[in-house]
Structure formats: C-alpha cells, structure tokens
Amino acid sequence: MLKVRGDVRRRMREAALELFHEKGYDRTTAAEIAAHAGVTERTFFRHFPDKREVLFNEAELGVRLDTAIVEAPPKLGPLEVVVWAFQSLAPMFEENLRFAEPAQAVISQTPALQERQLAKTALITQAIAKALLRREIDPALTGLVATTGMAITAHGLQTWVQDPSLPLVEHLDNAFRALQGALSH
C-alpha cells in the first residue's frame, strides 16, 4: 500500500514539474497537476496541501531527521550528529535527485517559492535544534549547531547535484571536512 502512495506522489511531482516547465508555476493549477498525473483533485489535496508543496517535503524530512538525530551514536559530537543524520537520509535524497534540479529551476524563477524555501530551511533548522535538545546538547549551542549543520548539508547537496558521480554521503563528509579545515587555519 505504501508503494502505491509513493507512486502517486511521484507521479504528481513529475506532472507538476512538467506543467511548471511548460506553462509556468503561476499558470498551473492543482487540478491540472492532478489530471496530468491521472488522479483526482481530491487525491492531490490528500497528498499536498497546495501546489507549492509538490516542490517541498519538509514535514517528512523533519520527522526523519528527528529520529536520526535521536538515534545517532552517542559518541558523536553535536555537529557530527547532524551530519550523520543527514548522511543516514542519503537514500531519500538520492531517490529524489531527478526532481531536485527541475524543482530548483522553478523555485529560482518564482519569488513566492524562494520565500517558501527560506521558511522550509528555518523549519528544518528548528527541528534539528529541538532534536539536539533531546540529546541533552547545551541549549546555548543547539541553534548554532543546527544552522551550521544545515549549511554543511546545503553545500554537500549542491556539490552532489553538480557531480552525482560520488555518493551524497561523500559530498556531505567532504563539506564537513572542509569546514573543519577552515576552522583550523
């Protein structure tokens, strides 16, 4: 059953990206996305609260990050925990790679979506900070660690999209090591 749900979501994302590319984001409706994906408009709204959410998935990411941070090995330092958590979610990102570039193209052309992307980043950063608190990380550090972890991840994701020949885990590790190197100089 979950496979079917994932397939429907994938089809709607693909349909949305095709329509956004052909018609533009603002001229595409949720009903058109649903029809293009072969589902009803009601089905669309069961999966996404609105058409912009086809491009964003922070709710699932937040839940998965929370779990990964809480379950990270106890020997890791706070920033290592965040990097480890994102690395553990690499399969989710890898599965969505084919959506990343087209979605980013739509976002970069639409100011309202750029604003939404900033809000998404803030929500994920807050979720990371809350999860770090549950690991009993010093509350004065959780915001800094969460923000730095997001920056490392953004850099790792960017370099991975540019060069997917290396696994995402390696790009994230390289970004973390680059930061460590910058701090030691």
Q: What is the mean pLDDT of residues 5-25?
A: 89
Residue 24 has pLDDT above 80, yes or no: yes
Indicate if 180 and 92 belong to the same structural domain.
Answer: yes
Domain boundary among 54, 72, 95: 54
Residue with tokens 């490392």: 152
pLDDT of residue 3: 43
- Predicted local confidence at residue 5, as pLDDT: 54
Based on the fold, state whether residues 100 and 149 are members of the same structural domain: yes
User: What CATH number has the domain bearing residue 12?
Assistant: 1.10.10.60
What band does 14 get if pLDDT is binned at 50, 70 and 90?
A: very high
> Could you read off the pLDDT of 119-174 as tens digits, one per residue?
999 999 999 999 999 999 999 999 999 999 999 999 999 999 889 899 999 999 99
The pLDDT tens digits of the residues spanning 33-49 come to 999 999 999 999 999 99
Q: Are residues 66 and 30 in the same domain?
A: no
User: In terms of residue numbers, what domain contains 179?
Assistant: 55-184
Note the pLDDT of residue 6. 57
- Among candidate residues 54, 78, 98, the one where a domain is terminated: 54
The answer to whether residue 57 scores a pLDDT higher than 80 is no
State whether 106 and 48 are in the same domain. Answer: no
Is residue 107 located within the same domain as residue 155? yes
Last residue in a domain, options 54, 76, 92: 54
Verify that 61 and 48 share a domain, yes or no. Answer: no
Do 31 and 77 lie in a common domain?
A: no
> Do 96 and 141 belong to one domain?
yes
Using an 8 Å Cβ cutoff, are 147 and 125 in contact? yes
Per-residue buried b or exposed e for 39-64, using 16+ beta carbons within 10 Å of the residue's own CB: beeeebeebbeebbbbbbbbeebbeb
Same domain, 134 and 70: yes
Q: Is 135 exposed, middle or buried (0-12, 13-18, 19+ CB in 10 A)?
A: middle
**What was the pLDDT predicted at 122?**
93
pLDDT in tens, 78-118: 999 999 999 999 998 888 888 888 888 899 999 989 999 99
> What residues contact 91, with CB distance under 8 A and at least 6 apart?
none
| pLDDT > 90? residue 74 | yes
Query: pTM here?
Result: 0.83
Tell me which residue of 5, 36, 4 sits closest to 18, measured CA to CA: 36
